[in-house]
């Protein structure tokens, strides 16, 4: 159980962390939360290289609209 799951009265697997930093999502996944990565290639400006993403997560999207569409699709299919 996590503080978030206790406060929300949910199981950790019923909670999803959405972030653009892999280290945050890795930590959330280790606690049993689902994880969604949203790409932000220009987060540090156009002159900087985006973060290397070596992990895979439950969901990966280029923006929040794409993430919402994926979640809606999976809910309709009974996956979530």
Supply the pTM of this predicted model. Answer: 0.86
> pLDDT tens, 28-73?
999 999 999 999 888 778 888 877 788 999 999 999 999 999 999 9
Q: How far is CA 68 from CA 2, 11, 27, 60, in A?
A: 25, 22, 22, 11
Pair 28, 18: CB distance under 8 Å: no
Domain boundaries 3-76, CATH class: alpha beta
Q: Any idea where the domains of the chain sit in the sequence? A: 3-76
């Amino acid at each position: 159980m996590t503080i978030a799951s206790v406060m929300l009265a949910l199981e950790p697997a019923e909670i999803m962390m959405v972030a653009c930093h892999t280290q945050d999502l890795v930590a959330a996944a280790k606690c049993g939360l689902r994880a969604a990565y949203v790409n932000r290639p220009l987060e540090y400006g156009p002159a900087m290289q985006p973060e290397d993403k070596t992990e895979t997560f439950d969901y990966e999207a280029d923006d929040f609209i794409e993430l919402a569409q994926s979640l809606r699709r999976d809910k309709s299919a009974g996956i979530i």
